[in-house]
Amino acid sequence: MVTPSSPDRGRSVALAHVSSHRMTSSISLHTFSAPVQLPIRPTQHVVIQFPPDLDPIGGAHSLKEDDRRLQFTPCRISVEPMQGTADGARTTLAFFSRNGRVTSLIGLPRPQGLGAQLVEVGGGFSEEVLESPAQTIAVAGGTGISCFLSLESSNLGEDAATMRRILAWSIRGEDFPLVEYVLQNGMLDIELWDVKIFVTAGEDPGGLVGGKPETVWKDRFNSIKQNFQGVEFACRRMEKSDIFEDSADKKALVLFCGSKSLQWQIKMWALGIGTVHVTDR
């Protein structure tokens, strides 16, 4: 079993690569399984050590050990009974990653498949924070949505069914297919959250978002809302009033997972209104 201190004790758990799917030009979804029940809570991250032959072309010396040790936050954690395993269970972890120099190698075809070692579990929001009776506002930037996708109503205290919870997700236009995938595959519980999605221009010039004018985006949003009526969309950056609209006279609990720049902005907006709890992507 893995604990946050497992690297110091030389302990790890074997993982087997199950599948990889490219969501956008820059984001992929990877799935791994372990032949044990892992002690991991929703919103926690995992650290995975990949083998020397991760790069099948460059060979065993193309990447240093530290380059092959990567951190991810699972968007899905599932445990199933499985005969023949150490504790009669199998854990499956799915996570999104940016397609970088090393992560792009994970899904490459290889004769023997890909194995790895889970060497650390840590971070995340504490159970005490998640079960707080305060109004909860979750803010995600890009793939930071993963930790909130791992949450279910059972993780959010007895008032989860009646408490209003806001989820604000900022994502670049070029990565919008990730939003469609998450919604269409039921990965985001829209009964649990009041969802607001902000599609930003990123590096696009001339007022375009993801290479398209705002009118095209409005048509796309309206098409999606036919099946997901509780989801709001906007072609702009989020503003203070979007997430703190009803919090002027009461304290709010803010959960954040995203970039450092967005984190700074959220903390500025939350001054005097609520406490911001941060976890890593």
Residue 246 lies in a domain: yes
Residue 54 lies in a domain: yes
Residue 215 and residue 248 in one domain: yes
> How many Å apart are CA 225 and CA 202, to the nearest integer?
24
Is the pLDDT at 59 greater than 90? The verdict is: no
Range of the domain at 40: 6-122
Show which of 122, 151, 179 is a domain's final residue.
Answer: 122
Q: What is the largest CA-CA distance in the chain?
A: 61
Residue 109 and residue 84 in one domain: yes
Ranges assigned E (strand) in the chain: 13-22, 27-34, 45-49, 69-72, 76-81, 89-98, 115-122, 135-141, 165-172, 194-200, 231-234, 252-257, 274-278
pLDDT (0 to 100) of residue 118 = 98
Residue 97 and residue 133 in one domain: no
The amino acid at 177: P
230: nearest Cα among 198, 200, 192, 199: 192
Q: Is 102 helix (H, G, I), strand (E, B) or coil?
A: coil
Residue 105 lies in a domain: yes
Question: Which own/partner pairs from 241-245 qualify as long-range (CB within 8 Å, at least 24 positions apart)?
Answer: 242/168, 242/196, 242/198, 243/137, 243/139, 243/166, 243/168, 243/196, 243/269, 244/137, 244/269, 244/270, 244/273, 244/274
Residue 97 lies in a domain: yes
Residue 198 lies in a domain: yes
Is the pLDDT at 60 greater than 70? The verdict is: yes
Residue 42 and residue 147 in one domain: no
Residues in the chain: 281
* Average confidence (pLDDT) over 164-169: 89
Mean pLDDT of the chain: 87
Residue 44 and residue 117 in one domain: yes
Residue 77 and residue 95 in one domain: yes
277: left (phi over 0), alpha (psi -120 to 50) or beta: beta
Show which of 75, 106, 122 is a domain's final residue.
Answer: 122
Share of the chain above pLDDT 70, in %: 86
Residue 28 lies in a domain: yes
Angle at CA 228, nearest 5°, toward 209 and 198? Answer: 30
Residue 173 and residue 266 in one domain: yes
This prediction has a pTM of 0.87
For residue 166, the domain's CATH number is 3.40.50.80
Angle at CA 281, nearest 5°, toward 115 and 13? Answer: 30
Residue 133 and residue 259 in one domain: yes
Residue 108 and residue 219 in one domain: no
Residue 239 and residue 131 in one domain: yes
Q: Could you tell me which residues come within 8 angstroms of residue 191 by beta carbon, excluding any fewer than 6 positions away?
A: 230
Is the pLDDT at 62 greater than 80? The verdict is: yes
Residue 219 and residue 257 in one domain: yes
Predicted confidence (pLDDT) per residue in 206-219, tens digit: 667 877 888 899 99
Domain count, the chain: 2
Is the pLDDT at 247 greater than 80? The verdict is: no
210: left (phi over 0), alpha (psi -120 to 50) or beta: left
The amino acid at 235: C
Residue 1 lies in a domain: no
The DSSP bridge pattern shows strands 165-172 and 274-278 to be unpaired
Is the pLDDT at 6 greater than 50? The verdict is: no
Q: Is 80 helix (H, G, I), strand (E, B) or coil?
A: strand
Residue 138 and residue 90 in one domain: no
For residue 84, the domain's CATH number is 2.40.30.10
Show which of 122, 139, 163 is a domain's final residue.
Answer: 122
pLDDT (0 to 100) of residue 248 = 53
Predicted confidence (pLDDT) per residue in 94-125, tens digit: 999 999 999 999 999 998 899 999 999 999 99
Residue 65 lies in a domain: yes
